[in-house]
Amino acid sequence: MNIITIPKKIVKGEKLVAIPCKEYEELLRISKKKAGVQFNFDKDLNKIIKDVKRDKIVGPFSSVQKLKKSLEK
């Protein structure tokens, strides 16, 4: 069994995790891929907000009566 001593100065009271380099690279790849998804999410969210402002999308409703009133229009 190998023993490694890590100075407290490096971890500064934080938890430390050791993983193989291949797993670390995979985590980086996944996080970069998800960052791209987040960008598309923001773009779609902006489109939805514009649609709501143009009254293309209605809701959510706080009561059934408000829903019925909206459907009568």
pLDDT in tens, 7-57: 888 888 888 888 888 998 888 888 877 666 555 667 777 787 787 778 776
Between CA 56 and CA 11 the distance in angstroms is: 52
pLDDT at residue number 18: 83
Side-chain-side CA neighbours of 14 within 13 Å: the count stands at 6
pLDDT at residue number 52: 73
The boundaries of the domain holding residue 55 are 34-73
How does residue 73 score in pLDDT terms, banded at 50, 70 and 90?
Answer: low
Q: Which long-range contacts (CB under 8 A, 24 or more apart) does 34-42 make?
A: none
Q: Is residue 72 part of a domain?
A: yes
Q: Is residue 9 part of a domain?
A: no
- At residue 5, does pLDDT exceed 60? yes
The tally of domains found in the chain comes to 1
pLDDT at residue number 9: 82
Q: Is residue 25 part of a domain?
A: no
pLDDT at residue number 16: 81
